[in-house]
């Protein structure tokens, strides 16, 4: 049985130890697809402030949101403190529970380049100053990163490991419109190519089961994303959570979630098409609480992984 090339394998080979990702959520960050800059309400599957109460953990920052044109950020010190507190708490647990020695700070929630440059610089510099941090991974949208930020990340990448994670989702504009994505496929392609040209490491997020997509379309998305030169990939099934626009479509029977059989078959084909040096960071997604509306197979992660491994086994692979 051959183990598929995972992100963990990549990091271990490069840094000689298991590197743990520390997921960070900074209050005051939002997304241009939520704040009305490109659209309102966000992607149809995204649970955000349009549908539920703000999740900002710093009380004072509730309702305060940055964007690319913000001229000042009175809460920067609070955000830096929040970053430090989250990093220390999570990395401490990873050290105690798993013996973690090296860390990658993962700016995870919302759009983590959607703020004035000075704010981003301060947060990235601070994250890289923590002990045993080997680099950053920054989740963002391709319409929300500036040349200035990209150039700074490229500079940091000379001494550290800098990743940008772009939501690709689909290469079909009609699908991107259906999910209210707020940008087209050309925009993602352009920024992935630019990021690669700047020497940065790129992870692409793909979703299988988007409204109206056939398996052929899902695989075409994977094929094009590989061709754009992504270094790592996250595969997700589209699942429906309550308080989203997609939940309304599902309730009105306008959206039918992907079956587990189709997801497994698509995932297998996408992995088999993948260039060998593209590492896999994620093979599925889901949520095991009462916010999940459908499909039910997205509830239990262990069962999903078991089924994925049974599928991969047919071709001599394991995750």
Structure tokens of 170? 């689909």
CB of 31 to ligand SF4, least distance (A): 3
**Count of residues engaged in binding ligand SF4, rule: CB under 6 A:** 11
CB neighbour burial string for 33-52, b if at least 16 within 10 angstroms, e if fewer: bbbebbbebbbbbbbbbbbe
**Tokens 């930020």, residue?**
149
Cβ contact 160:105 at 8 Å: no
Characterise 42 by phi-psi region: left (phi > 0), alpha (psi -120 to 50), beta (else).
left
Give the per-residue contact string, 133-172, with ligand SF4 (x = CB under 6 A; - = no): --------x-------------------------x-----
Report residue 119: phi and psi, to 5°.
-65, -45
Position with the least CB separation from ligand SF4: 42
Cβ closest to ligand SF4, residue 5 vs residue 166: 166
Q: Which helix (H) or strand (E) holds 102?
A: strand 102-107
Query: 55 to 74, contacts with ligand SF4 by CB under 6 A?
Result: none
CB of 153 to ligand SF4, least distance (A): 19
Give the per-residue contact string, 26-55, with ligand SF4 (x = CB under 6 A; - = no): -----x-xx-------xx--x-x-------
CA–CA separation, 8 and 68 (whole Å): 33
**R_g of the chain, CA atoms, integer Å:** 19
Give the per-residue contact string, 184-223, with ligand SF4 (x = CB under 6 A; - = no): ----------------------------------------
Cβ closest to ligand SF4, residue 111 vs residue 113: 111
Q: Summarize as ranges the residues that interact with ligand SF4 (CB under 6 A).
A: 31, 33-34, 42-43, 46, 48, 110-111, 141, 167
């Amino acid at each position: 049985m051959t183990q598929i090339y995972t992100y963990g394998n990549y990091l271990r080979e490069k840094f000689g130890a298991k590197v743990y990702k520390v997921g960070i959520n900074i209050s005051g960050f939002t997304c241009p697809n939520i704040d009305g800059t490109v659209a309102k309400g966000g992607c149809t599957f995204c649970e955000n402030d349009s549908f539920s109460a703000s999740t900002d953990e710093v009380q004072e920052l509730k309702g305060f949101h940055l964007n690319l044109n913000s001229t000042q950020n009175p809460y920067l010190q609070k955000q830096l403190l929040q970053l430090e507190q989250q990093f220390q708490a999570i990395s401490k647990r990873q050290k105690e529970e798993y013996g973690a020695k090296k860390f990658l700070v993962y700016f995870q929630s919302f759009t983590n380049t959607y703020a004035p440059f000075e704010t981003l610089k301060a947060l990235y510099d601070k994250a890289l100053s923590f002990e045993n941090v080997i680099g950053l991974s920054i989740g963002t949208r391709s319409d929300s990163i500036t040349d200035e930020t990209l150039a700074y990340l490229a500079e940091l990448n000379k001494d550290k490991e800098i990743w940008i994670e772009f939501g690709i989702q689909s290469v079909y504009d009609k699908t991107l419109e259906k999910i209210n994505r707020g940008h087209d496929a050309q925009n993602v392609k352009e920024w992935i190519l630019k990021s690669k040209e700047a020497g940065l490491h790129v992870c692409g997020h793909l979703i299988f089961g988007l409204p109206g997509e056939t398996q052929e379309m899902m695989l075409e998305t994977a094929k094009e994303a590989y061709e754009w030169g992504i270094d790592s990939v996250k595969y997700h099934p589209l699942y429906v959570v309550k308080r989203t626009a997609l939940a309304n479509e599902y309730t009105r029977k306008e959206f039918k979630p992907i079956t587990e059989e189709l997801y497994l078959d698509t995932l297998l084909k996408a992995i088999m098409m993948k260039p060998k040096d593209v590492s896999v960071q994620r093979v599925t997604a889901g949520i095991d609480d009462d916010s999940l509306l459908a499909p039910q197979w997205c509830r239990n992660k262990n069962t999903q992984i078991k089924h994925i491994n049974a599928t991969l086994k047919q071709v001599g692979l394991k995750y």
